[in-house]
Amino acid sequence: MRVQWVELDAVALTQRCYPGKYKPNEAAPGLHGCFEFRLGANCIIYTLPLAARPTEREYHETAGHELHHCRDGYFHDDELFIPGPRKQRPGERPR
Ligand SMILES: [Zn+2]
């Protein structure tokens, strides 16, 4: 799998991660990043730049979280992120 890393400011990141959910100049509170799968097993991570983070540690934690998504697909239920190919949970019907 190829991973592409794209850093965006908070407003651009909001538009990328929550298309149509916020006003064009509005930033989603607490948004750190999201991921998207493209054809050919490319995983694109969108995130705030290091300079926009409270700490470098927080930046790397987001990097690890989004890379986890690239490896495993969709793994939390909050519907906040662009879903990738997700794993089937026990008892869940395929979709
Ligand atoms: Zn996530």
Q: Tell me phi and psi for residue 3, to 5 degrees.
A: -115, 130
Q: What mean pLDDT is predicted for residues 50-77?
A: 85
* pTM value > 0.95: no
pLDDT (tens digit per residue) in 28-41: 998 888 888 877 77
Is the confidence at residue 82, as pLDDT, over 50?
A: no
Q: What is the pLDDT of residue 41?
A: 72
Q: How far is the CA of 68 from the centre of ligand 1 (A)?
A: 8
- Looking at residue 19, the DSSP 8-state letter turns out to be T
Is the confidence at residue 92, as pLDDT, over 50?
A: no
Q: For residue 54, which of 32, 35, 69 has the smallest C-alpha distance? A: 32
CA–CA distance from 67 to each of 21, 31, 44, 50, 93 (Å)? Answer: 24, 16, 9, 16, 26
Q: How far is the CA of 75 from the centre of ligand 1 (A)?
A: 7
